[in-house]
């Protein structure tokens, strides 16, 4: 049996204070078994040393000194360009951005971009006034229309220059997620022009302002689906219940609490969606009565009267158009396939994801998952344990295949 080859990521670091964040990216990639090579510009070395990056990646970090020394069997920029599966540049400075926009190559970093064919992920960082300059935005938009370049928007906040505004580099988890996506898709944007509507997390059905019926869903699977769709070029709307996670820029977010609220938002956004994914763990029942003030402990009922909540995915299935694809989730214990297959047929879904919630490191709250995909054509595809982002990409592969 052949041993899988490690994935290969090349990281270019520009001159900016945000360079320190790249240490977390490099360290996490290495811990996950990814081979990492690093290029630093001369300006980058003012903020972070090659020794630091070499220690984290377990491989020498390259600078322009290496570029101009004939000590390699092949030109270094050619060797690195052919080696990389994904090339991430973070932080991307205004200077390097301008060079890439005009195809200039005057250092190791920019020469390697031209000598490579892999997808390039760009994570800019700069002062707000610099970022908002018309010429900088022109260069940014020019690269954004190039299918080879994948762009992470800047965030707003307190910058190192004490300015509050746009220009903050994307945080390491967002960069890492996009790198993982590109390793899966090789830069494919098969969802460009599509709108994807996703529900995520659990709902809460309150019987007073502080008590509710709920479930352990954290929304991580729905977030992963939203990230995967975004990275593949879709316009994404995420309707989520109470959750504690950061949602990447570029995703339209609608926060809800109850099943009724989620139903209203899902049905209200259905008409514009091409793909609808119900990954939320929606309540089946709710308390029949609601107290507008907190009930004293002594006043709590011995038996809580319940009533059914509307079945959101059934309503979506009734209203969906022929061009739309509706995908459900079935969180199960024990035999996961038979109940999911029954749900697929009974609710007239296009596909369903059966995932076990009684297996280690899978299901609610976990960063990983496993599943069986089923569709109306009789296909069944088993996905072994993997990250939830990988599972999300496998699902989009399945429904587009």
**Mind telling me the catalytic residues?**
161
Distance CA 80, CA 8 (A): 10
Contacts with 201 (C-beta within 8 Å, 6 or more apart), sequence order: 217, 218, 219, 222, 240, 241, 242, 243, 280, 281
Biggest CA-to-CA distance, the chain: 83
190 labeled binding residue: no
277 labeled binding residue: no
Is residue 159 within 8 Å of residue 17, measured between CB atoms? no
382 labeled binding residue: no
Strand, helix or coil for residue 363: coil
80: region left, alpha or beta (phi > 0 left; psi from -120 to 50 alpha): alpha
194 labeled binding residue: no
208 labeled binding residue: no
- Give whole-number Cα distances, 166 to 43, 91, 210, 228, in Å: 22, 14, 37, 24
Nearest to 83 by CA among 37, 151, 134: 37
313 labeled binding residue: yes
310 labeled binding residue: yes
H or E stretch covering 109: helix 108-114
Is residue 374 within 8 Å of residue 380, measured between CB atoms? yes
358 labeled binding residue: no
11 labeled binding residue: no
Angle between the 220-231 and 388-400 helix axes, to the nearest 10 degrees? 60
Q: What angle do CA 252, 254, 257 make, to 5 degrees?
A: 160
What residues form the annotated binding site for CTP? 284, 294, 310-313, 329, 343, 347
What residues form the annotated binding site? 284, 294, 310-313, 329, 343, 347
């Amino acid at each position: 049996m052949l041993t899988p080859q490690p994935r290969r990521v090349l990281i270019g670091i520009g001159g900016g204070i945000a360079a320190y964040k790249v240490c977390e990216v490099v360290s996490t990639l290495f811990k996950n078994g990814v081979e990492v090579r690093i290029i630093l510009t001369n300006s980058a070395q003012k903020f972070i040393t090659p020794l630091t990056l070499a220690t984290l990646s377990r491989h020498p970090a390259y600078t322009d000194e290496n570029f101009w020394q004939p000590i390699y069997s092949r030109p270094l920029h050619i060797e690195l360009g052919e080696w990389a599966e994904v090339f991430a540049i973070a932080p991307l400075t205004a200077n390097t951005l301008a060079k890439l926009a005009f195809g200039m190559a005057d250092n190791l970093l920019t020469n390697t971009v031209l000598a490579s064919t892999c997808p390039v992920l760009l994570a800019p960082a700069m002062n707000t006034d610099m970022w908002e300059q018309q010429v900088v935005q022109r260069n940014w938009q020019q690269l954004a229309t190039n299918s080879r370049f994948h762009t992470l928007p800047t965030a707003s906040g307190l910058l190192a220059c004490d300015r509050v505004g746009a220009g903050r580099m994307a945080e390491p988890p967002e960069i890492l997620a996009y790198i993982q996506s590109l390793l899966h898709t090789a830069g494919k944007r098969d969802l460009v022009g599509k709108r994807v509507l996703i529900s995520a997390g659990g709902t809460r059905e309150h019987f007073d302002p502080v008590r509710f019926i709920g479930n352990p869903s954290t929304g991580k699977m729905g977030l992963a689906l939203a990230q995967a769709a975004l990275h593949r070029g879709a316009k994404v709307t995420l309707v989520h219940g109470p959750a504690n996670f950061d949602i990447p820029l570029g995703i339209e977010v609608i926060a809800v609490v109850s099943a009724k609220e989620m139903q209203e938002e899902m049905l209200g956004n259905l008409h514009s969606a091409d793909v609808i994914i119900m990954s939320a763990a929606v309540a089946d029942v709710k308390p029949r009565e609601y107290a507008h003030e907190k009930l004293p402990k002594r006043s709590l009922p011995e038996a809580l009267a319940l009533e059914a909540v509307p079945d959101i995915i059934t309503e979506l299935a009734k209203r969906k158009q022929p061009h739309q694809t509706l995908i459900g989730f079935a969180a199960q214990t024990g035999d996961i396939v038979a109940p999911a297959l029954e749900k697929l047929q009974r609710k007239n879904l296009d596909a369903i994801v059966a995932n076990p919630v009684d297996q280690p490191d899978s299901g609610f709250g976990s960063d990983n998952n496993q599943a069986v995909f089923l569709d109306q054509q009789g296909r069944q595809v088993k996905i072994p344990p993997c990250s939830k982002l990988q599972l999300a990409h496998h699902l989009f592969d399945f429904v587009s295949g």
